[in-house]
Amino acid sequence: MWASINELKERIHADSSEEIVAQYLDRISKSKLNAFIYTVGESALSRAKEIDTNDIDGPLAGIPVAIKDNISTYGIQTTCASNILKSYIPPYDAHVIERLKEAGAIIIGKTNMDEFAMGSSTETSFYGATKNPWNMDRVPGGSSGGSAAAVAGGEALLALGSDTGGSVRCPALFCGVVGLKPTYGVISRYGLIAYANSLEQIGPLATSVRDVASLFDVVAGYDPRDSTSVDKEVNYSSALMNDVRGLKIGVPEEYFEEGTDEKVEKAVRDAIHTLEDLGANWKKVAMPHTKYALSAYYIIAMSEASSNLARFDGMRYGLRTEDKDWHTTFSQVRAAGFGDEVKRRILLGTYALSAGYHDKYYLKALKVRTLIKQDFERAFKEVDVLITPTMPYPAFKLGEKIDDPLSLYLADVDTVPINLAGVPSISVPCGFSDGLPIGMQIIGKHFDEAAILRTAHTFEENTNFHCKRPEGY
Amino acid sequence: MITSKDLEHIGWLARLELSEEEKEEYAPKLNPVLDYFSDLDEVDTEGVEPTYHVLALSNVFREDEVNTKCPLDQDEALSNAPNSQDGFFKAPRMM
């Protein structure tokens, strides 16, 4: 079922979108991956039929797309993989969903995720863990694990995820596909259910850089309903040159330090040498505040989460328990609706913002964020892109880290600095370790998605890591 | 160090009722995280401004006119409410 957008479009022309969508739905119904929380077979098929009958054109006409379950879809349940939103049916579409519909895409279902996007393994979902198509005993990464597993497992051609601290790039790497976290503000967050709004962006996932760029072209763009949306129209597909001659690559050694798997380090350094052979230059750059990024990130993310998730009180939507007095009802709705990891993050975030601790934790983290942002600004005075591992190791085992929150947080060490700085970053496959994909992360300046797409595309055109499929897919 | 007594207070601030088991279970999981966060103490942030947002934000203004494209009418706005009456969300009693 692995195909490119262009290949699938040819098949749609030869056959029909209805037939193709039916094939994907059939595959999902027989799957053991648990990538989807919910599929919308009937409406997907009738929309596909409409596209066939009326010969509707569009950049994604008739193409099946999977949507992470924290992105609002009109009339389709949107749960954030949480019990508290189990019955929630949004009365409006997110901006990205409006864009997809205009482009002719067929939404086939909502994908599994860590509850409220809080995790790196998709194990905290109320609907059970998603499995990695490369190895059913391994996690698919998270928090957009369902989206990545669906693409890698041939259950959707394209998918949208969201990335607060690595949640598109981590599962893309663990599942051997491509995932992009755009510059903060490039994709509207209207309709994305917030976890940590100063950090997160919606991001595209696909099996190739070209298809990621095509999906990105459709969903990016200005939207006045998101006050952080940036008014900049760009054609990302046109950035896909197979040419890195003269490109300046920076390699921050801080991202290769202790804890990085040897095979991961070798694969990423080999990839940098491949780009060098193709005409790029590389040099070491210093990013001295990298080691503080993880603490700063988690303090900020949890603080924002404790505030954002205050809206879930059972009054306007979601789970409601038996009415008692005001405060008791709220406390009991939230106790019954949220899972352990969400509760822990709300508690730590509340603590970090509470009287006596605000300056020590929250304000300090925001100042460290400034220093991390300055590390990037300094590096980008000298180089065009930075290359690092996406994560320090390949997919870990289901159950391996879930009972130890700190060890799970430490996995995000290479991805969180990017969200703190708001710069764009893409993860592309660059090797394998014992049958599990390895990924490298290519980071760019604010709004310079063109440079990272060009670097990623050139690497892909000259290597074949992205062509390898999980066995049986 | 967060104790289970602290957790009860934080839970109250967050409007999150915690069972005795949760209080017992969470403290030993949260304390290593807080210990880890204390590595920020060694960073010199004297004179450094905090970054709340990475890009300069500007307000989005519009004319003060009725927006007929407003997506929700009253029925739609109430469509997910677990409890509503006469076109209002119904909340529990205050006391």
Tell me the C-alpha distance between A427 and A465, whole Å.
13
ipTM given for this complex = 0.95
Confidence of residue A473 (pLDDT cuts 50, 70, 90): confident
State which fold the A1-473 domain adopts: Amidase signature (AS) enzymes (3.90.1300)
Check whether A2 has a pLDDT greater than 80.
no
- The pLDDT assigned to A1 comes to 65
Of A445, A297, A306, A465, residue with least CA distance to A379: A445
Query: What single DSSP character describes residue A135?
Result: B
Q: What domains sit in chain B, N to C, each tagged with a CATH number?
A: 4-39 (1.10.20)
Q: CB of B54 within 8 A of CB of A184? A: yes
Tell me whether residue A101 is one of the annotated catalytic residues. no
Query: Average pLDDT of A392-418?
Result: 95
- Joined together, the tokens standing for residue A243 give 């040419």
pLDDT tens by residue, A143-165: 999 999 999 999 999 999 999 99
Mutation target to probe the B interface, by most B beta carbons within 10 A, among A333, A343, A347 is A347
A-B CB pairs within 8 A amount to 174
Instruction: Flag if B81 and A317 touch (Cβ within 8 Å).
Output: yes
- The pLDDT assigned to A232 comes to 86
Query: Average pLDDT of A16-23?
Result: 97
**pLDDT higher at A372 or A231:** A372
The average confidence (pLDDT) of chain A is 96
pLDDT tens by residue, A185-204: 999 999 999 999 999 999 99
Check whether B69 has a pLDDT greater than 80.
no
Task: Give A-chain residues touching B24 at CB under 8 angstroms.
Answer: none
- Joined together, the tokens standing for residue A226 give 């998101």
- The pLDDT assigned to B37 comes to 96
Tell me the C-alpha distance between A27 and A1, whole Å.
9
Query: Average pLDDT of A456-473?
Result: 93
- The pLDDT assigned to A274 comes to 98
- Contact map slice: A 339-358 vs B, CB within 8 A: 340, 343-344, 346-348, 350-351, 354
Check whether A319 has a pLDDT greater than 70.
yes
Tell me the C-alpha distance between A199 and A419, whole Å.
5
| Sign of the CA dihedral with A82 first, then A398, B38, and A261 last | negative
Check whether A269 has a pLDDT greater than 70.
yes
Length of chain B measured in residues: 95
HSE, CB side, 13 Å, CA atoms: give it for residue A179: 36
Tell me whether residue A68 is one of the annotated catalytic residues. yes
Instruction: Flag if A228 and B57 touch (Cβ within 8 Å).
Output: yes
- The pLDDT assigned to A447 comes to 96
Tell me the C-alpha distance between A66 and A35, whole Å.
10
- Model pTM? 0.97
Give the three-state DSSP class for A65.
Answer: strand
Check whether A85 has a pLDDT greater than 90.
yes
Q: Domain residue spans in chain A?
A: 1-473
Confidence of residue A448 (pLDDT cuts 50, 70, 90): very high
Which residue in the list A121, A125, A144, A167 is annotated as catalytic? A167
Nearest to A331 among B6, B15, B22 (CB): B15
Tell me the C-alpha distance between A2 and A6, whole Å.
12
Instruction: Flag if B53 and A295 touch (Cβ within 8 Å).
Output: no
Which residue in the list A143, A208, A303, A306 is annotated as catalytic? A143
Nearest to B76 among A91, A350, A446 (CB): A91
